[in-house]
Every structure is written in C-alpha cells, then in structure tokens.
Amino acid sequence: MVRGCGVFISLALFPCVLLAGEILDSSVVHDGAVYRLSITARVEAPLAVVYQSITDFNNLAAINPSIEESQVLESQGADRQRVRSVIRVCILVFCKRVEQVQDVTLVDQRTVVATMVPGGGDFRAGLARWELTAAGAGTDMHFTEAFEPDFWVPPLIGPWLIEKKLVREVAETAVYIEGQAGE
C-alpha cells in the first residue's frame, strides 16, 4: 500500500502484539520471481476511520513513515485513481527508494484493489487487495498482494526479509491509524 496503498510492501511468522493493534496472521510465498503475501491485522479504530486513512492517497505518509511521497496522478472516475508512491525500504543495512504506480479501485466502503502499472515504477507486475471487516469497536484489515519486483532480491533470505519488513509496515500503519482515531 503497501502497505501500500500500495504497498503498500510482512515481518514475523508468528502473531505480533502491538501497542494496541495486532498482527493476527501473516505469510509470504516466493514462487519464481513472484511474491505472494497475506497479512491480517486488527486495528482498534472504526472501519470508516481505517478506510478513510488507507484511501487518502495524497497523505499516505501520515499513516506510514516509510512512505516518502504519495499522490494521485489522475482520476479515472469516481471510484478509480492512478496513484504514485515512493517508499523507503530498509532491510538490514541496505536501503532503497522504491517507486510504484498503481491503478486503485474503491470497490465499496470496505474493499480496495490496486493493480501495479507495468513500467510505472520498480515492479514488473502486482495486485494488492485490502478488505476491511468491523470487529467490535475495531477493524480487521486483511491485506493480500502478489508482486514481481523489478530489482534484485536475495533468493535465500529474500522471502523471509520481505515478510519481516511488510509485517512491520502493516503493524506501524495500524498504530498510526489508531493514533488518528484517538485524536
């Protein structure tokens, strides 16, 4: 998302408890050059607040400090926008600025689908989906993504590192959204 929205680009193979929200489940699978991940997190904020936060495409840095820039490049209708984001990704001591351009569709008030635009950034292809479900006073966020990076990822530890990083990103995003809900 992409976390962001994208990418929104998971961290532990086991549940991780946060200050308020929590990672309920996470996994990453590496199949050739394609990574498939799934993360479910609980956010202690109402569904409407979570949805507003993840769809405020010009202000995604407000919910994830790894996102350096985000902007709507063009509106393709009321429920479809082309969004560009730049994310600073650091794994161990290596950092990289990753750019992605996605066509984002607001399916309904709880589902967001983002398709990577080939040639629009540092990914050959990708498809991400956010599904939000009310869970008492909070919200369960289920994020799935399949992506093919257009940059080298270490083959032996890459999937593990990607999962670690993406789970951390989703966890941080949950904490930021909860902070906004409390304001």
pTM (2 d.p.): 0.81
Residue 129 domain-assigned (yes or no)? yes
- Domain tally for the chain? 1
Residue 5 has a pLDDT of 37
Taking only the tens of pLDDT, the chain with its 183 residues reads 333 333 333 322 223 333 456 889 988 888 888 989 899 999 999 999 999 999 999 999 988 888 999 999 999 888 999 999 999 887 677 788 999 999 999 999 999 999 999 989 999 999 999 999 999 999 999 999 999 988 877 776 667 777 777 778 887 888 888 887 776
Instruction: Give the helix ranges, DSSP H, for 3-122.
Output: 47-54
Residue 15 has a pLDDT of 31
Q: At what angle do helices 47-54 and 158-182 cross, to 10 degrees?
A: 120
Residue 5 domain-assigned (yes or no)? no
- Judge whether 178 and 22 are in contact, CB under 8 Å: no
Residue 183 has a pLDDT of 64
Q: Is 31 helix (H, G, I), strand (E, B) or coil?
A: strand
Q: What range defines the domain where residue 82 resides?
A: 16-182
Residue 81 domain-assigned (yes or no)? yes
- Here the CATH number for the domain that contains residue 118 is 3.30.530.20
Phi, psi (5° rounding) for residue 98? -110, 130
Residue 6 domain-assigned (yes or no)? no
Residue 2 domain-assigned (yes or no)? no
